[in-house]
Structure 1
């Protein structure tokens, strides 16, 4: 069995930027799909109607006329999830690039991270 001890002394910021962008886009797609699935499950189980009847009961016999589906429709939930996903893509990509630059600066001072590779 051979062993090689290596030192990660520099990380290419451009490759970190590309990888972080692709992974954050995948996370954004998962966020939008999860929000749509969650809304659909809540609608199919009747949670929206139960919340409406609960609020009608709490408001009194005259009724409040409040409908949760009008405030949180599927289109609005999907739009909000898309906005959150886009903001996350920008923030995660920028933070990953900044982390790579900060790692390179600190690696010049400390020497980097040691990695041991083995061959089985």
Structure 2
């Protein structure tokens, strides 16, 4: 009988973790880089990496395999709900800015065609 009560108590206590208690406050969590349209409008074709980093800050993701692309991502959550999310990618050719893509389109890039995406390396069997 005692082991049954202990098992019932453990089951009840562990079930409390799965029930969302009403009125529990969940803070807003902001992750990533905050980039505004005004910051994106400062980007001009041919800018150096240093100039882009000065304007936008350190990128959230610098791809190890493609060092010519920087990604800036921002997510704001309230608990499990995503309140806002956006993404901005900048592409370089060497040290020169050649492309900007994502949720913000800089004014200097509106009249230019989109930047070419790097071709994926084709696998050859051999």
Report the TM-score, using the length of structure 2 for normalisation: 0.25
Report the TM-score, using the length of structure 1 for normalisation: 0.26
**Larger RCO (alpha carbons 8 Å, 6+ apart):** 1
Q: Which has the higher strand share?
A: 2
Q: Which has the higher helix share?
A: 1
